[in-house]
Structure 1
Amino acid sequence: MPRLFTGVEIPDDVAFELDLMRGGISGARWIDRESYHITLRFIGDIDEGLAREISYELDGVEAKPFKLRLTGSGFFGGNKPHTLFAGVEECADLRRLQSTHERICQALGLPPEPRKFAPHVTLARLKDPDHQALHRFIASHNLYKSRVFEVGRFVLFSSRPSRGGGRYAVEESYRLQAGL
């Protein structure tokens, strides 16, 4: 069974901007433009029955379209950086959508997500990066702001476990409805 997670896709033009940031950090494994997304809820490796239940419940999510903007850059991992990312401007609608996904997963028996939701777009995975280059990257991209874009759907992604992470496939998409 593939590994599943829910997320929001990044528009092609914004992904292109992020792609232009690539480079300059030894120890960085850059993410392919087609794989940029904002994870809402990591689900993991589950059986087909539970996957169908999750898909069914996600189909019932009621939320209206909303606007997002990516902003700045940063990294996770403190003194041992492991993930370089573009940030996401605070958005109450995004947080509500994420908490709905969290409630659905817990109601279906999945354990709570152990990490606090920190919306971001992963740009690179880091392994023993050059710290000076990493800090130069952050400094040169900390004022980055994408255009504001509308989120009109969320998706159920799958990935096959592989070294460095496999390509993501959209298993299902769920339209957000205006007028709710």
Structure 2
Amino acid sequence: MIRLLRAFIAVDLSDELRDKVADIQSMFSDFKFKFVDPNIVHITMKFLGDVHEENIDEIAKALDSIEYDHFEANVKGIGVFPKPKYAKVIWVGCEGGFEGLHALIEDSLTSFDITPDMHKFNAHATLARVKYLPKKQKQDLIVLLDELKEVDLGTMQVTSIKLKKSILTPEGPVYETLHEVKLK
């Protein structure tokens, strides 16, 4: 029987930044958003989707071939996808060596049946998902986003990437690290 795992490659936020994520999320408490548990907020480097369980070891080996120096990342600026009037995702931006790391991750996965990202990579950590936003709250959200667009949560050292599986539960996703690749 073929087992599929919902998998992705991520950079975890530092504990210090997770505390600051919780503070930022609390600023959106007037909205009925679905907040990501601050303890599992991460920067998705590549969403793999449903992967055959027997391919996980080969994907891990492919990721082990990545040679990239660790780097300092700055986590700052609250934004949304796709745009403030029609927000579906609230995120915090991440600056550093993410684009180069993402390119190497993409290159390492070319021999697998994984669709390459078609959009320019935008390093971010999802804070909340917007299922519904009443018309009367749209302007409040736009004002708050404008206030937070330059907020600086701080820096962290990016020293590894992690291959994770996601188990969806009624209480929210549960993530398990399957493999970790240390950066140089």
Task: Give the structure-2-normalised TM-score.
Answer: 0.87
Query: Residue 2 of structure 1 corresponds to which residue in structure 2?
Result: 5
CA contact (8 A) 2:74 2:156 kept: yes
Deviation for aligned residue 1:99 = 0.7
Equivalent position to 1:136, from 129, 134, 143:
143
Identical amino acids, percent of aligned pairs: 24
Equivalent position to 1:125, from 120, 124, 129:
129
Give the distance between the partners of 1:48 and 1:114, measured in 2 at CA: 25
The residue identity in structure 1 corresponding to 2:165 is: S
1:81 counterpart = 2:87: yes
Give the distance between the partners of 1:174 and 1:157, measured in 2 at CA: 12
Q: 160-169 vs 4-13, which deviates more?
A: 160-169
CA contact (8 A) 1:6 1:156 kept: yes
Give the distance between the partners of 1:2 and 1:54, measured in 2 at CA: 12
Give the distance between the partners of 2:130 and 2:119, measured in 1 at CA: 19
Deviation for aligned residue 1:53 = 1.1
Structure 2 CA distance for partners of 1:146 and 1:26, relative to 1, 3 Å: closer
Deviation for aligned residue 1:74 = 0.7
The unaligned stretches of length 5 or more in structure 2 are none
Normalized per residue, the structure richer in strand is: 2
The unaligned stretches of length 5 or more in structure 1 are none
CA contact (8 A) 2:76 2:150 kept: yes
Equivalent position to 1:50, from 31, 38, 55:
55
Q: For residues 46-125 of structure 1, what are the structure 2 equivalents within 5 Å?
A: 46-78=51-83, 79-89=85-95, 91=96, 93-125=97-129
Deviation for aligned residue 1:162 = 4.2
Give the distance between the partners of 2:110 and 2:32, measured in 1 at CA: 36
Deviation for aligned residue 1:137 = 2.4
Please report the RMSD computed on the Cα atoms of aligned residues, expressed in angstroms: 1.7
Q: Count matched residues.
A: 175
Give the distance between the partners of 2:65 and 2:159, measured in 1 at CA: 15
Structure 2 CA distance for partners of 1:94 and 1:175, relative to 1, 3 Å: same
The residue identity in structure 1 corresponding to 2:124 is: H
- Cα deviations by residue, 1:16-58 (Å, 9 ceiling, x for unpaired): 0111112334231111011111111110111022222111111
